[in-house]
Amino acid sequence: MILNKAILILGPTGSGKTPLGALIEKKGLAGRRCFHFDFGENLRAIGKSNQPDKHFLDEEIAFINKVLDSNALLEDKDFPLACKILDWFIERHHIKTDDLIILNGLPRHIGQAKGMDSILEIEKVILLNCTSEAVRARIRKNAGGDRSGRADDSAAEVENKINLFSWRTPELLRHYRSAGKEIITIEVRENDTAEDMLKALNNHP
């Protein structure tokens, strides 16, 4: 079975994953067509029933809205739904096996990563290393230009997301390191743009 290829972007909330993923989709990477799969954006679109093909059941939409309202992660038992969302994305965009999917927001923890190993080949991981102080400043300034209209950027919710990322990401990184995947760390400061991050990525040896 030939798997779709992907690059995973990891980073705390506000670090610039979405702007970077969108820029990679626009410009491509190493001459390959790229498609930015922003899991949160897809969840929000489905939650609003913004899916004219009616691909998702009413109970799935209700569950997704519950997840969005509580800022929770999809756990292992919910992974079939995450796969369905990814399959929907691949189908809608007519993604071919030699294209590159830029994963943003999935997988978020080790259970999801193990599940995805059977459906996607992760070629490398991009880690956006951003301190908690820089995260708060980036969100306050909307440094990435992607925070307008976000209802999940209260101080308490941001702190919860930072803590969740710190708790669940190390095991995820160990999983990919043990699998021999390249992990590229990009230092993100409070005023860095997606263009700055892409430049750092392209300059990586």
pLDDT of residue 79: 86
pLDDT category of residue 152 using cuts at 50, 70 and 90: low
Decide: 120 and 176 in contact? Cβ < 8 Å: no
* pLDDT tens, residue by residue, 82-111: 999 999 899 999 999 999 999 999 998 888
Distance in angstroms (rounded) separating the CA atoms of residues 95 and 89: 9
Instruction: Check residue 164 and give its pLDDT.
Output: 87
Question: Residue 205: pLDDT above 80?
Answer: no
pTM of the model: 0.89
- What mean pLDDT comes out for the span 196-203? 94
Please write the tens of the pLDDT for every residue from 22-71. Answer: 999 999 998 999 999 999 899 888 888 766 567 888 889 988 988 888 87
- Mean pLDDT score, 177-187: 96
Confidence of residue 74 (pLDDT cuts 50, 70, 90): confident
Q: Are 172 and 113 in contact (CB under 8 A)?
A: yes
pLDDT at 126: 97
Q: What average pLDDT score do residues 116-137 get?
A: 93
> What pLDDT is attached to residue 45?
86
Residue 83 in contact with residue 17, Cβ under 8 Å? no
- The two tokens of residue 148 are 């307008």
Side-chain-side CA neighbours of 162 within 13 Å: the count stands at 18
188 token code pair: 């993100």
107 prior amide bond cis, ω within 30: yes
- 1 Cβ contact list (under 8 Å, min separation 6): none
Q: What pLDDT shows up at residue 93? A: 94
Strands (E) across 76-175 are located at: 100-104, 120-129
- Does residue 153 surpass a pLDDT of 70? no
Q: Furthest-apart CA pair in the chain: how many Å?
A: 47
Paired tokens of 9: 């972007």
Specify the DSSP element, H or E, that contains 35: strand 34-38
Instruction: Report d(CA 65, CA 160) in Å as an integer.
Output: 19
At residue 150, the pLDDT reads: 67
β-strand partners of 6: 101, 122
